[in-house]
Amino acid sequence: MQSAALKLLPTDAAAENPAVEPALELEAFLRDVEARAYRIAVLELRDADEALDAVQEAMIRLVRRYAKRPSTEWRPLFYRILKNRIRDGQRRRAVRNRVMSFFGPRDADDADPVAEAAAPEADGPVETIARADAMQALGSALLELPSRQREAFMFRNFEGLDVAQTAAAMGCSEGSVKTHYSRAAKRLRERLGDHWP
Amino acid sequence: MNDAHRRGEPMLEQQARGAFERSVAELDAATRAKLRRARRTALESLEAPRRGVLLGRSSSWIAAGAVAAVAISFAWLIPQNGGVPQQRAVQLASSPDVDLLLGKDELDMLEDLDFYSWLDQQAKRDPPKSANDGIG
């Protein structure tokens, strides 16, 4: 369950200037969500720099447009914005690939951002490799899903959005969220098998 | 996702979330520093002067129109293997690539409209406590 501790104790500055407290609350929210949002964007875009750009753009848009909305609305709205930025990135890549294929051979294998993740230091080499392999297998399996199923699974399972919040983030009905999610889970189970990780 | 849902959760989904959370926890310091900078940049927007809404929207439409004009003009300049140039321009203007280039504004507007619709549904479900909870 993601942290709901978005409200901070008011400081003297906040008490004197009411505008300061919302900014602190917004900062706390972004600090809470940024790492997971980045990981989700990396899984979708398969490029660390593009993922970082998408997360930053989503943060900026949330702050500029929706800072005054109740904080309970920030999470689904943030992921809705992030999803749109990810789609932008995927579309730009599709156009870029078409142009590149016209002028020459495509690039070799895309960089695997999962494989680029730093290995943990606490575990031994066997455990380290096993965990990296598990995440890599999960990432590959997720990429094989249709985009809507992948979104539903990541928003519900990774970020912990409830059905209504996921529907808002995806721009679809709650029934569609449940359908996408159950199909995603079923396909992942088939793909990864009973003995994953 | 609430705890009641997770208690009955199949093993694969628990393990998937565990793998994801570990990958988040293991983010390297350099990436975390970049995310911090991104967060600070975003929060500076609270203080930065904003463009007028009308000017901002107008700028987006002008930019979209410019892109379309360039794309259509480019089609006229490309030597054609066959077909009338006007037909090629129409094809290009309706091609998925032009849609992709123009898609950002559509997404921006839909993002707001759909979210406001969801907010409206939420308000009906949970009536606001004060008269000032409406959008706008």
Residue pLDDT, tens place only, A125-180:
666 667 677 888 899 999 999 999 999 999 999 999 999 999 999 999 999 999 99
What is the H or E stretch that residue A49 is in?
helix A48-66
In chain A, the residue whose alpha carbon lies closest to the alpha carbon of B53 is A65
Whether the CB-CB separation of A118 and B26 falls below 8 Å is answered with: yes
Q: Is A70 helix (H, G, I), strand (E, B) or coil?
A: coil
Residue of B98 and B71 predicted with greater confidence: B71
- Nearest chain B Cα distance for residue A108, angstroms: 23
Cβ contact (<8 Å) for A192 and B12? Answer: yes
Pick B22's closest partner by Cβ from A56, A88, A131. A131
**Confidence band for A95, pLDDT divided at 50, 70 and 90:** confident
pLDDT at site A47: 94
- Chain A and chain B share a number of CB contacts under 8 A equal to 138
Interacting residues of A195 by C-beta distance below 8 A, sequence separation 6+ = none
Residue A69 has pLDDT above 50, yes or no: yes
Pick A189's closest partner by Cβ from B12, B24, B112. B12
Interchain contact B51–A (C-beta under 8 A): no
In chain B, the residue whose alpha carbon lies closest to the alpha carbon of A188 is B12
Cβ contact (<8 Å) for B42 and A114? Answer: no
pLDDT at site B63: 58
Pick B42's closest partner by Cβ from A63, A73, A76. A63
Among A51-55, A115-119, B98-102, top mean pLDDT goes to: A51-55
Q: Which of A197, A81, A190, A124 is nearest to B19 (CA)?
A: A197
Residue B48 has pLDDT above 80, yes or no: no
Mean pLDDT for chain B?
Answer: 66
What is the arithmetic mean of pLDDT over A177-184? 97
What is the H or E stretch that residue B7 is in?
helix B3-7
Cβ contact (<8 Å) for A60 and B45? Answer: yes
What is the arithmetic mean of pLDDT over A13-41? 83
- CA distances for A88 relative to A81, B102, B106, angstroms: 11, 10, 11
pLDDT at site B125: 63
pLDDT at site A116: 46
| Region of poorest pLDDT, from A37-46, A132-141, B81-90 | B81-90
Interchain contact B117–A (C-beta under 8 A): no
pLDDT at site B121: 67
pLDDT at site A33: 97
